[in-house]
Chains A and B, each alone.
Chain A
Amino acid sequence: MGEVVIRVDQAGKRYRIGEDANVYGSLRETLMERITAPFRPRKPSRRASGRRGEDRDFWALRNVSFEVRQGEVLGIIGRNGAGKSTLLKLLSQVTEPTEGCIEIAGRVASLLEVGMGFHPELTGRENIYLNGAVLGMTRREIERAFDQIVAFAEVEEFIDTPVKRYSSGMYLRLAFSVSAHLQPEILIVDEVLAVGDTAFQRKCLEKMGSATRAGKTALFVSHDMSVIRSLCDRGIVLDRGAMVYEGRAVDAVAHYAHLIGSEMRVSRDLRDWWNRSGTPRARIVHGAVEWRGNGEEMGHVVMGDTLIIRFEVVRDADVRPSSLRSSCIISTTTGIPVLHISNEDDDFIFPDVEEATVTITVPQLRLFPGTYTVSLWVGNQHYDDYDYVRDCLSFDVEQGTVPDRAYRMSWYNGLVYHPSEWSAGT
């Protein structure tokens, strides 16, 4: 193993949140603050009080330390909001750490998103140059890689067509292809592999795999544990901004699964739930998942069962019940939202009581087997968040007998079973 090329030492990043939903501040406020400041007694912190009393500091990342050696491939795992993206932004120098220190030796290419700088009016050829420049390639490097990029993306015939006429698949292939031809010493990749068709994903993974085998150092963020296991040597697990595990990639994946499992709950008091946001004019104080059917006696939902989501909402007296909007989002543990259930779509209006227990009944649940998390949301008719409680409940789905299949359905094939009618002509 080579020498240390990345050293992260006690890195932390703090964001300010809840500034009256007015993150940008107004010029007048600041000017008034500056002008009147000499005439006021000094306060310990200028921002911590006064009109913006709602200020709260939020550490997206804190006390994170690790090292990456040359040629090593590090996987970064964690739930949504665990701090993965913040860590990548610090490493890519998009934003500065609030504390701590990061040392990097080598040319870094970071891929926080594919197709950065792409413009729909420009042709494929023009966008390759533009995107390459944005990613830090020199014009000569782009020229040399140009033919490979076009061939890899399989868009030869359309290279002089504006990309707005591309299919979404072609667009993503081209965007990804430019990124895949970077020649950095250190590669930082956010969850960009979640895009595109499966065949192309495989191709990209191979391309990146070959890059890592050639001794390049790489950092990957992925929700796909099989990617982490197959590409990475080591892994770190982030949770609520802290690094909770560091070790071999397979062990990190196991630790992550344990972390998710240990917080799995079908019923929970949500008064102190950590992962939430919104101006709390209405609050979700309790949530629960129940089911009726074949799985009733077992510890899990069986496909075809009726799923029941129950939650309690307490609202301020001046919030009109008819203005309340609410929804329930069911996602995979990998963060992909699968079902969005909203009171508006189902024509439900909140009753005129300050504390309401809401019951959502989902008949014949047809989610593929796996673990799902539930997020609950209440807001107003403008979709401003009152309370957005993320991933607070979770439940398991097993295959059972509906549909009665010999093969095992898995997320690899899809997420939802939808019964369909087939016919054939001659």
Chain B
Amino acid sequence: MPIDASPPLHGDTGLKEKTHPVPRVVIRPSAGWTPLDLAGLWRARELLYFLVWRDVKVRYKQTLLGMLWAVLQPLLVMIVFTVIFGHFARLPSDGVPYALFVYCALVPWTFFAQALSQSANSLVDSSYLISKVSFPRLVIPLAAAFGAAIDSAVTLVLLFALLVIYGIRPTPALIALPAFLALALVAAVAAGVWLAALNVRYRDVRYTIPFLIQLWFYVTPIAYPAGLITGPWRVALALNPLTGIVEGCRWALIGTGALDGLALALSIGISLPVLVAGLYHFRRVERRFADLV
């Protein structure tokens, strides 16, 4: 006997101004690949909002320096790099002051690294929610990545202050900056959903994340210009999706170099498929999260 379609319940409060159709679910064992549940994710958008809001709020309530932390990290790296690589090692910086050169790259990089590491650890850190409440699990790594985006907004303030201090007048290319930052978010979420899902199953993933990010930092043209790398190595460098993003940010902000079509194409061409595959993999394994965390 199939379940009869029952009329929508109006409840005893009269609070609902519109009647919802009765949601009907059939829960049965699933296996293999399933379609992405984007509608479910959309319904969970308020939860996503509140989780981002909680993370950001708690981060700035608990720490002494609050918002300053977000800026302090790239700022200190900038100072150390400027002294060591800019002053002593005399690395080229495409004709702009080295401090500005490196900070323009540190803004997207810090955003990417924070979004990646926070989303990769997010599921394990939210095990108490996963084992007790049902909602699209993707909300958790997404909330972590968006939280990092809010931190990054603070680093942008310092960036514009530096532009003013060094007397750099932005070119119309500046309007492309949000696109590059969005691409950094895509790359971070792409890697983040893979690592987050693996982290639930294999706890050694957690320990590899800082190392992975450290390595990634050196193969990204942050302390040095991409132009320093020549020959076949140039393609190898461009295979790193962050190369196109970091160089693109510099191009948009301080106009160094030309926009490298290859690096940008590879950046998009790698990040997007990895993201889509990551989302499908996530869907495939999320049903076991509650049993594993």
Partners in one complex: yes
A contacts, CB < 8 Å to B = 2-5, 7, 15, 23-28, 30, 70, 89-107, 110, 112-113, 116-117, 119, 121-122, 126, 129-130, 133-136, 138-139, 141, 144, 183, 185, 214-215
Chain B 6-37: CB-based contact to A (< 8 A → 1; otherwise 0): 10010111011000101111111110000000
Q: Do residues A30 and B46 form an inter-chain contact, with CB atoms below 8 A?
A: no
User: B291's closest neighbor in chain A, by CB?
Assistant: A95
Known: A70-B6, A95-B291. A25 touches B201 (CB 8 A): yes
Asked if A26 and B4 make an inter-chain contact with CB atoms under 8 angstroms apart, the answer reads no
A27-B198, A94-B132, A105-B6 known; A130 vs B13 contact (CB < 8 Å): no
A111 CA to B131 CA in the complex, in Å?
A: 12
A141 to B11, CA, bound (A): 13
B203 touches A24 (CB 8 A): yes
Partner of A144, one of B15, B28, B202: B15
In the complex, whether B47 has a CB less than 8 A from a CB of chain A is yes
- Bound CA–CA A139/B58 (angstroms): 20
How far is it, in angstroms, between the C-alpha of A138 and the C-alpha of B1 when the chains are bound?
Answer: 34
B→A interface (CB under 8 Å): 1, 3-6, 9, 11-13, 15-16, 20, 22-30, 46-47, 49-51, 53-54, 57-58, 61-62, 128-135, 198, 201-205, 287-288, 290-292
The distance from the CB of A416 to the nearest CB of chain B, in whole angstroms, is 31
Complex alpha-carbon distance, A100 and B29, angstroms: 7
Q: For residue B61, which residues in chain A have a CB less than 8 angstroms away from its CB?
A: 121-122
Q: With CB as the reference atom, state the residue of chain B lying closest to A27.
A: B202
Question: In the docked arrangement, what's the CA distance between A3 and B22, Å?
Answer: 13
A134 to B250, CA, bound (A): 40
Whether B28 contacts A106 by the Cβ 8 Å rule is no
Q: Which residues of A contact B129 (CB under 8 A)?
A: 116-117, 134
With A95-B288, A215-B9 already in contact, 15 other A-B pairs whose C-beta atoms are closer than 8 Å: A4-B1, A7-B3, A26-B202, A89-B131, A96-B28, A97-B28, A98-B29, A106-B22, A107-B20, A122-B61, A133-B46, A133-B49, A136-B133, A183-B13, A185-B9
Asked if B9 and A106 make an inter-chain contact with CB atoms under 8 angstroms apart, the answer reads yes
Q: Which residues of A contact B131 (CB under 8 A)?
A: 89, 94
A239–B62 alpha-carbon span in the complex (Å): 46
CA distance A138 to B205 in the complex (A): 35
Question: Chain A contacts of B54 at CB under 8 A?
Answer: 117, 119, 122, 126, 130
In the complex, what residues of B have CB within 8 A of residue A133's CB?
Answer: 46-47, 49-51
The smallest C-beta distance from B135 to any residue of chain A, in angstroms, reads: 7
Q: Which of these, B133, B201, B203, contacts A134 with CB under 8 Å? A: B133
Q: Given A3-B4, A105-B22, A134-B133, are A95 and B9 neighbors across the interface (CB < 8 Å)?
A: no
15 pairs of residues in contact across A and B, judged by CB atoms under 8 Å: A4-B4, A5-B6, A23-B292, A93-B134, A94-B131, A94-B133, A100-B28, A107-B22, A107-B23, A116-B129, A119-B58, A133-B47, A133-B50, A134-B133, A185-B9
Please state if A26 and B28 are interface contacts (CB–CB under 8 Å): no
If the complex has contacts A3-B3, A106-B23, are A121 and B58 also in contact, measured as CB distance less than 8 A?
A: yes
Residue A96 contacts which of B1, B29, B53, B133 (CB distance < 8 angstroms)?
B29
Judge whether A94 and B290 touch: CB under 8 Å. Answer: yes
A103 to B23, CA, bound (A): 11
Residues of B within 8 A of A141 (CB): 15
| A214 to B292 CA separation, bound complex (whole angstroms) | 38
Bound form: Cα–Cα A101–B291 in Å? 18
Q: Which residue of A lies closest to B128 (CB)?
A: A116
What is the chain B residue whose CB lies nearest that of A89?
Answer: B290
Q: What residues of chain A lie closer than 8 Å to B132, measured between beta carbons?
A: 94, 112-113, 116
When distances are taken between beta carbons in the complex, the residues of chain B under 8 Å from A107 are 20, 22-23
Contacts of A95 in B (CB 8 A): 287-288, 290-291
Assess the A93–B25 pair: CB atoms within 8 A: yes
Q: Top 5 nearest A-B pairs by Cβ distance?
A: A93-B134, A214-B12, A133-B50, A27-B202, A102-B27
Taken together as a complex, chains A and B put the C-alpha atoms of A23 and B288 apart, in Å, by 13
Min Cβ gap B138→A in Å is 15
